[in-house]
Amino acid sequence: MSKPPQKDRISKTSKKYLPKKASDDSVGQVTKNEWSRTQIISAVAVANTAMIAVALAMFVTKADCDTSNAEFGIQVEPGDESTTSTTYTRAPVSTTTEFVGAELPEELITVGPPKSCSFSSEPYDLSIDEIYMSSYSCGVPETEPDLVRGDGEAVFTSWPYTFQVISYGTFRGYLPECVGALISPRHVLTASQCFFDDVGFSKSYAVVGGLNVASEYSGTHIKPVHKIRIHPKSNMCAGHPVTVYDFALLSLQEQYDPLGNSMRLACLPAVKEALPAGTGCWTTGWGPPSTNSRIPLKQVSVEVVSERTCRRDLYKDIVMSSTVCGKTSPSDSSCLGQTGSPLLCHIDGAWTLYGITSFGTSACASSDLLPAFGTVSYVVDWMCCFMRNMPPCYGVVCNISGE
């Protein structure tokens, strides 16, 4: 729409202040009184303009001289501190300090030298990935965890999703390696660095369900591992101090059926679902691996922190798509759980697996260090490639490359 003519944009109120239009026969005829009035107005206007120009020049000159002391616009005149007179100066242009994250603490640099290995996920295998279920439920234990008790020993069967990953042999028995979470009757999710010392998978592995006290396997439910899949983007062999996409999916030789009270499935989050900072979660486990430890299952509360806090306080290169950080109480840490321990959050009435303990697990002696967890929601589309008939995977597009 074209703009209206200027005269049409003037209000009726403002029109009465406009000079009357002179008639043709009066053009050039001005009375003596009118000339005097015009001259006076012009002179006053010129004088006012000159005064404003001088004032502005003084203001700018003063401001430019005082920029070294200027803060937020008001300053006491130098040499005249006894008076209350102030001069108003331009505030300096603010500069944004570049965010610099933390270098990884030395006590967390435990990864060995680089190894020659790479991982690519083999496709779905019906013989080891097929799941048979008459019904599906997740995240609801038979015995509710005692969260009022807080950090410490857990109530038996209150965390039935927490499984122990062990290696075994004819002459050496069972050796605890890591912790994991049961996410299907046939699949356990743990951390890839559990297998850093055995990238060729030469050992025999199994998972243990229904375990209360570490190394006391009587009455528990043990299933051998048939297939280990490392996330394709895991850098555990690169010799980098921080393992990204620190996930390993274990397919069992046979599924748990029935599950029972001491073994239940953890719920899975939606694809790329983010946890808001401040979310309260829990992690569980038995402590550092030991052949003779008699440690009961423990629980530790974790408060999720923002990516910026994680990069500032733990390591500068952390990104939430790979790693989520949490904050524990001063006396405890996810070292109670060790690598692979689940980070479980109570969402919509069910316990959902949002993280797998990755590093920061040696933070027991330094309570100011944040434990770090692999972000499960960013690998759901990879895991679902091998759990096609699990309800959480319905409608999820398989992302076998992990990109």
Tokens of 345: 């959050």
Q: In this predicted model, what pLDDT tens digit does every residue of 221-241 receive, in sequence order? A: 999 999 999 999 988 877 666
pLDDT score for 6: 44
Res. 76 pLDDT band, cuts 50 70 90: very low
Please report the domains of the chain, with CATH numbers, ordered by start residue.
106-393 (2.40.10.10)
Three-point CA angle 393, 119, 363, nearest 5°: 85
DSSP labels, 316-341: TT--TTTEEEEE--TT--GGGT-TT-
Is the backbone of residue 155 left (phi > 0), alpha (psi -120 to 50) or beta? beta
DSSP class of residue 267? B
Cβ contacts of residue 3 below 8 Å, gap of 6+?
none
| Residue 159: Cβ within 10 Å count | 25
**Nearest one of 378, 163, 162 to 270, comparing CA atoms:** 378
**Nearest one of 247, 261, 236 to 165, comparing CA atoms:** 247
Residue type, 187: H
Task: Determine the Cα–Cα distance for residues 203 and 330; give it in Å rounded to an integer.
Answer: 37
Decide: 334 and 300 in contact? Cβ < 8 Å: yes
pTM for this model (two decimals)? 0.71
Q: In this predicted model, what pLDDT tens digit does every residue of 286-345 receive, in sequence order? A: 876 654 567 889 898 999 998 888 888 777 777 778 888 888 865 554 445 478 999 999
Residue type, 149: R
* Run of H or E including 382: helix 380-383
Is the backbone of residue 272 left (phi > 0), alpha (psi -120 to 50) or beta? left
pLDDT score for 120: 66
Res. 114 pLDDT band, cuts 50 70 90: low
Q: In this predicted model, what pLDDT tens digit does every residue of 371-397 receive, in sequence order? A: 889 999 999 999 999 999 999 999 999
How many residues comprise the chain? 403
Strand 323-327, strand 298-304: pairing: antiparallel
pLDDT score for 196: 86
Cβ contacts of residue 100 below 8 Å, gap of 6+?
316
